[in-house]
Amino acid sequence: MSTELFEKAVALIGAVLVGGTAVVQFRNELPLRSLDANVTKLLLGLMIVGCVLAFLAAINVLGVHSAA
């Protein structure tokens, strides 16, 4: 297995695991209404977006021009 393929696999599996866990954490925070809970919800939501981006990069949907 080439290094790039291995890195893509790690990124793919990692993005799914981390993103899925972040979604669970986000859902647990949803009923809470305090300021820190609301900020946490916002930041967790954006982190989930980041996991989606990493997932799309790992499957060559985004960043396909980026071969250095």
Partner 1 sequence: MSATTLDPGQSATSHAAVAARFADVDAVYATTRDLRLLGFVLFLVSDCVFFSSFIFSYLYLRTAAPVWPPLVDGKQLPYLDVTFAAVNSVVLFGSGVTMHYALESWKKLKKGAFNGWMVATIVLGIMFLLGQAHEYSGALQIMSWTGSSFGATFYTLTGMHGFHVFIGVIYLSVLLVQANRGVYTGSKYFGLTAGTLYWHFVDVIWVALFFMFYLW
By CB under 8 A, name the binding residues for partner 1: 4, 7-8, 10-11, 14-15, 17-19, 21-22, 25, 32, 35-36, 39-40, 43-44, 46-47, 49-51, 53-54, 56-58, 62-63, 65-68
The CB-of-17 to partner 1 minimum distance in angstroms stands at 8
The CB-of-35 to partner 1 minimum distance in angstroms stands at 6
Count Cα atoms within 13 angstroms, Cβ side, for 20. 6
> Which residues, at least 6 apart from 29, have a Cβ–Cβ distance to it below 8 Å?
37, 40, 41, 44
